[in-house]
């Protein structure tokens, strides 16, 4: 072996054979653990998980809860079933990454799941049944034996946002630093050469098992941390006579466990909360990468900072979501988060050409609400007609989310497409026409309540414009799902979120408010199908839904555009101030903070600097941000009694918050942290409204 002329070091750059499609940031696959004896202790029927795989390369996992006559389905990039072994995962998911690693790429394999779902079994395994990490090392050893090169490894543990070396345990934690080239350096993490399989097994199994053995004791079970193995590969490319340094990181993440149902003793509550928070942060990074977002929140925790070196938009990393074969809340949470992060929706398109009128190729966005979407019934090819996403109620008294009986005409197919483009799981979704009607009705309500130029009204207007544009496209023969309409369309999802949040706020406005608030309240809270009825009337008068509807919407949006051209001000009367106090922006959608309390001079400068819409948007962002900050400050400082006075906070949650503060003086730094309390977005909105009412 001649000495190589150049050395290239690990970059998270994809190097795949040309015949394979480019990989996305992080591939999200599922693995269902085989049924174990301990699962039979579970009261629910074990045969309730089912997987439907499509030729298009994705899988829908459905959990059937017979007792509640309910099915929940989640879509992932792929799923390995109970009878599929680790070797199959290795061949299909890991082996294709190794070429890249040997050519200087960095990548990562993450084992994610609820507690006891088989993460360690898959990532680490045992000497008798090696997991993915040992299999990879064996494969790399044999490859570099042929081509030349060397291997070394590091093991680390991430505990409570501190990283520790496992091979050479020491007091000081490992520091995550960035060098001049903005590459991550792990200061204090030892590296040991790996020259043989036995070398590796000795260090890996015995090193790791000091912390976590196959047979975990009760005490060990309480120690919850993320454990990682980094394999460094220095390989020589004989063709170019260059040497490459690539890395692959295997992380056995700590298991997710719902803090509310925790069986652990109290001292472990905050540990659980921290583990859950770090998992949430990691999943946010995966989501941002797969959604191709500009900002990837690597800096949220030590774990995500460390990961910055290994996962990027083209790293081809794999997140293996380990699933228990029985339905439980933790499993559905985990698979929901994974489904949300995989963003498969952006990969597909709907072909609505005449040739394929009845063929809806793909349904569904991974909804931000844990990846659930509503069921869509259509006659499609085998495996593509997936009753997907869904909380699908069956049996007596159950109300399906989709409306049946109208057939699945091309028009509804088109609408179905539109619905999936703009919808958001929750109150405001039930078909595009209903959506139009809802939007229109909310728009009218918003205008009455807040004035035509309020931020909310503007947002609603934007939404209507989008729907209108989409309706226009639908009249063409082929409609392609544009990222701007789905998933990446922050515009759309923001508005949908606002719509969702608007309803409780409109409901919450007291009847003593001026104008038509009472009638608005009636309109919002009376018959949930009223909006739909309005819309159906609209459709029935012509017999044709889309053209008239889109015209109407365009008309409304044009009038609103005209209105919004006027100079806007949100420093208006008391009643609007009351609204401002009540209005809470989507708590899950943090925006760049802008000082809202501008003095007069600043205000004048600000007025000159951009369009009225920009100013309004910026101001409302500042307002929302400062209201959110008020709420967080309240949660970080209020006493137990004050906390209990909030909507959704009882004795248990209040004690939990107080307890969180013992380990971290300010546990709620951003709205996402409130999720640690186990509240839904809606409940968080309600709770924040009640905080604003008290301050």
Ligand X SMILES: Nc1ncnc2c1ncn2[C@@H]1O[C@H](COP(=O)(O)OP(=O)(O)OP(=O)(O)O)[C@@H](O)[C@H]1O
**Bind-site residues for ATP:** 113-120
| Nearest approach, Cβ of residue 33 and ligand X (Å) | 4
| Nearest approach, Cβ of residue 605 and ligand X (Å) | 55
Does 36 bind ligand X (CB under 6 A)? Our answer is: yes
| Nearest approach, Cβ of residue 91 and ligand X (Å) | 16
Catalogue the E-assigned strands of 86-161. 106-113, 149-159
DSSP track, 318-341: EEEEEE-SS--HHHHHHHHHHHHH
Query: For residues 216 and 669, which CB has a smaller minimum distance to ligand X in the complex?
Result: 216
Does 423 bind ligand X (CB under 6 A)? Our answer is: no
Does 119 bind ligand X (CB under 6 A)? Our answer is: yes
With H, G, I as helix, E, B as strand and everything else as coil, classify residue 381. Answer: coil
The C-alpha atoms of residue 163 and residue 180 are separated, in whole angstroms, by 22
Does 325 bind ligand X (CB under 6 A)? Our answer is: no
Helices 132-147 & 95-102 angle (0-180, nearest 10):
40
Query: For residues 303 and 638, which CB has a smaller minimum distance to ligand X in the complex?
Result: 303
Which of 1, 6, 20, 34 touches ligand X (CB under 6 A)? 34
Smallest CA-to-CA distance from 444 within 433, 426, 457, 454 is with 457
Of residues 525-584, which lie at the interface with ligand X (CB under 6 A)? none
Query: For residues 300 and 330, which CB has a smaller minimum distance to ligand X in the complex?
Result: 330
Cα 96–chain centre separation: 26
Can you read off the two tokens belonging to residue 562? 């005209």
DSSP 260: G
| Nearest approach, Cβ of residue 626 and ligand X (Å) | 40
| Nearest approach, Cβ of residue 38 and ligand X (Å) | 8
| Nearest approach, Cβ of residue 213 and ligand X (Å) | 10
Question: CB under 6 A: which stretch of 9-17, 33-41, 553-561, 672-680 binds ligand X?
Answer: 33-41
> Partners of 31 in the beta sheet?
80, 322
With H, G, I as helix, E, B as strand and everything else as coil, classify residue 176. Answer: strand
Question: CB under 6 A: which stretch of 30-38, 328-336, 500-508, 557-565 binds ligand X?
Answer: 30-38
Which of 23, 24, 27, 33 touches ligand X (CB under 6 A)? 33
The C-alpha atoms of residue 257 and residue 252 are separated, in whole angstroms, by 15
Can you read off the two tokens belonging to residue 433? 């026409």
Smallest CA-to-CA distance from 678 within 274, 345, 261 is with 261
Query: For residues 86 and 471, which CB has a smaller minimum distance to ligand X in the complex?
Result: 86
Question: CB under 6 A: which stretch of 112-120, 441-449, 487-495, 588-596 binds ligand X?
Answer: 112-120
The C-alpha atoms of residue 495 and residue 459 are separated, in whole angstroms, by 6
Can you read off the two tokens belonging to residue 661? 């503060």
Of residues 64-83, which lie at the interface with ligand X (CB under 6 A)? none
Query: For residues 51 and 628, which CB has a smaller minimum distance to ligand X in the complex?
Result: 51
Can you read off the two tokens belonging to residue 330? 């933790």
Query: For residues 33 and 372, which CB has a smaller minimum distance to ligand X in the complex?
Result: 33
Does 495 bind ligand X (CB under 6 A)? Our answer is: no
Which of 116, 228, 365, 371 touches ligand X (CB under 6 A)? 116
Which of 10, 25, 113, 487 touches ligand X (CB under 6 A)? 113
Q: How many residues bind ligand X (CB under 6 A)?
A: 13
Does 274 bind ligand X (CB under 6 A)? Our answer is: no
Q: Assess contact for 71 and 158: CB atoms under 8 A.
A: no
Which of 115, 447, 582, 615 touches ligand X (CB under 6 A)? 115
Query: For residues 322 and 464, which CB has a smaller minimum distance to ligand X in the complex?
Result: 322
Q: Assess contact for 166 and 211: CB atoms under 8 A.
A: yes
What helix, strand, coil percent values describe the chain, rounded to 5? 45, 15, 40
| Nearest approach, Cβ of residue 300 and ligand X (Å) | 22
Can you read off the two tokens belonging to residue 270? 């905050």
Does 134 bind ligand X (CB under 6 A)? Our answer is: no
- Residue 581, classified by CB atoms within 10 Å of its CB into exposed (0-12), middle (13-18) or buried (19+), is middle
Does 118 bind ligand X (CB under 6 A)? Our answer is: yes
Residue nearest to ligand X (CB): 255
With H, G, I as helix, E, B as strand and everything else as coil, classify residue 524. Answer: helix
Does 131 bind ligand X (CB under 6 A)? Our answer is: no
Can you read off the two tokens belonging to residue 145? 């034996």
Query: For residues 34 and 510, which CB has a smaller minimum distance to ligand X in the complex?
Result: 34
> Partners of 112 in the beta sheet?
321
Does 278 bind ligand X (CB under 6 A)? Our answer is: no
> Partners of 156 in the beta sheet?
165, 228
Does 510 bind ligand X (CB under 6 A)? Our answer is: no
DSSP 438: H
| Nearest approach, Cβ of residue 283 and ligand X (Å) | 16
Query: For residues 255 and 487, which CB has a smaller minimum distance to ligand X in the complex?
Result: 255
CA-CA-CA-CA torsion sign (110, 115, 118, 121) = positive
Which of 117, 390, 454, 461 touches ligand X (CB under 6 A)? 117
Please name the residues in contact with 308: beta carbons below 8 A apart, sequence gap of 6 or more: 184, 298
Question: CB under 6 A: which stretch of 114-122, 189-197, 231-239, 567-575 binds ligand X?
Answer: 114-122
Smallest CA-to-CA distance from 447 within 511, 513, 520 is with 520
> CA-based Rg of the chain, rounded to a whole angstrom?
27
Query: For residues 85 and 528, which CB has a smaller minimum distance to ligand X in the complex?
Result: 85
| Nearest approach, Cβ of residue 325 and ligand X (Å) | 10
Give the residue ranges of the annotated binding site. Answer: 113-120
Helices 574-582 & 432-450 angle (0-180, nearest 10):
140
From residue 408, give the alpha-carbon distance in Å to each of 353, 411, 481, 537.
15, 8, 20, 20
Which of 30, 130, 255, 685 touches ligand X (CB under 6 A)? 255
Query: For residues 111 and 365, which CB has a smaller minimum distance to ligand X in the complex?
Result: 111
Query: For residues 116 and 487, which CB has a smaller minimum distance to ligand X in the complex?
Result: 116
Q: Assess contact for 248 and 108: CB atoms under 8 A.
A: yes
Question: CB under 6 A: which stretch of 115-123, 134-142, 228-236, 544-552 binds ligand X?
Answer: 115-123
Does 120 bind ligand X (CB under 6 A)? Our answer is: yes
Which of 24, 58, 121, 447 touches ligand X (CB under 6 A)? 121
The residue ranges that bind ligand X (CB under 6 A) are: 33-34, 36, 113, 115-121, 255, 322
């Amino acid at each position: 072996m001649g000495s190589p002329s150049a050395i290239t070091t690990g970059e998270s750059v994809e190097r795949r054979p040309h015949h394979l499609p480019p990989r996305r940031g992080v591939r999200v696959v599922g693995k269902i653990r085989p049924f174990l004896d301990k699962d039979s202790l579970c009261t629910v029927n074990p045969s309730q998980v089912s997987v439907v795989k499509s030729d298009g390369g994705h899988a829908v996992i459905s959990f059937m809860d017979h007792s509640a006559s309910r099915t929940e389905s989640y879509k992932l990039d792929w799923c390995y079933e109970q009878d599929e072994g680790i070797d199959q995962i290795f061949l299909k998911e890991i082996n294709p990454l190794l070429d890249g690693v040997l050519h200087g790429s960095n990548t990562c394999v993450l084992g994610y799941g609820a507690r006891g779902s088989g993460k360690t079994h898959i990532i680490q395994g045992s000497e008798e049944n090696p997991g993915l990490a040992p299999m990879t090392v064996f494969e790399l050893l044999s490859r570099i034996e042929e081509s030349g090169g060397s291997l070394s490894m590091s093991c680390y543990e991430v505990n409570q946002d501190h990283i520790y070396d496992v091979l050479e345990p020491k007091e000081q934690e490992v520091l995550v630093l960035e060098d001049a080239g903005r590459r991550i350096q792990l200061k204090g993490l030892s590296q040991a050469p790996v020259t043989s399989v036995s070398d590796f097994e000795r260090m890996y199994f015995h090193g790791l098992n000091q912390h976590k053995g196959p047979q975990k004791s009760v005490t060990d079970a309480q120690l919850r941390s993320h454990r990682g193995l980094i394999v460094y590969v220095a390989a020589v490319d004989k063709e170019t006579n260059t040497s490459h340094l690539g890395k692959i990181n295997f992380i056995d993440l700590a298991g997710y466990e719902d803090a509310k149902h925790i069986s652990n003793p109290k001292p472990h509550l905050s540990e659980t909360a921290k583990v859950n928070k770090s998992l949430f942060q990691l999943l946010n990074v995966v989501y941002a990468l797969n959604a191709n977002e500009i900002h990837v929140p690597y800096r949220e925790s030590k774990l995500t900072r460390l990961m910055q070196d290994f996962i990027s938009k083209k790293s081809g990393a794999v997140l293996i979501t380990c699933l228990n074969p029985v339905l439980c809340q933790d499993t559905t949470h985990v698979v929901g988060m994974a489904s949300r992060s995989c963003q498969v929706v952006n990969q597909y398109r709907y072909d609505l050409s005449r040739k394929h009128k009845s063929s809806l190729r793909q349904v569904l966005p991974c909804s931000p609400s844990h990846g659930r979407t509503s069921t869509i019934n259509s006659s499609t090819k085998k495996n593509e007609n997936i009753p997907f996403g869904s909380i699908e109620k069956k049996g007596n008294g159950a109300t399906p989310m989709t409306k049946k009986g109208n057939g699945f005409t091309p028009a509804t197919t088109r609408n179905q497409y539109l619905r999936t483009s703009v919808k958001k799981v929750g109150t405001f979704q039930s078909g595009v026409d209903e959506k139009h009607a809802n939007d229109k009705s909310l728009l009218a309500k918003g205008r009455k309540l807040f004035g035509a130029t309020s931020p909310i009204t503007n947002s609603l207007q934007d939404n209507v414009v989008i729907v209108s544009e989409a309706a226009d496209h639908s009249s063409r023969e082929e409609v392609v799902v544009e990222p701007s309409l789905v998933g990446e369309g922050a515009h759309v999802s923001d508005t949908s979120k606002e719509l969702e949040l608007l309803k409780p706020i409109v409901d919450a406005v007291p009847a003593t408010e001026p104008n038509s608030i009472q009638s608005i309240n009636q309109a919002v809270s009376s018959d949930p199908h009223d909006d739909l009825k309005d819309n159906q009337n609209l459709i029935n008068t012509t017999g044709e839904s889309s053209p008239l509807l889109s015209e109407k919407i365009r008309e409304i949006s044009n009038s609103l555009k005209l209105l919004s051209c006027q100079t806007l001000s949100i420093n208006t009367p008391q009643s609007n101030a009351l609204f401002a106090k009540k209005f809470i922006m989507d708590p899950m959608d943090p925006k760049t903070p802008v000082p809202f309390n501008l003095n007069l001079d600043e205000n004048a400068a600000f007025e000159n600097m951009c369009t009225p819409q920009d100013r309004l948007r910026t101001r409302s962002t500042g307002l929302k941000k400062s209201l959110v900050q008020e709420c967080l400050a309240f949660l970080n400082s209020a006493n137990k009694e004050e906390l209990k006075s909030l909507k959704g906070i009882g004795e248990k949650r209040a004690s939990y918050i107080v307890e969180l503060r013992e380990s971290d003086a300010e546990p709620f730094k951003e709205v996402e942290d409130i999720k640690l309390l186990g509240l839904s977005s809606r409940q968080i909105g309600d709770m924040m409204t009640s905080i604003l009412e008290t301050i």
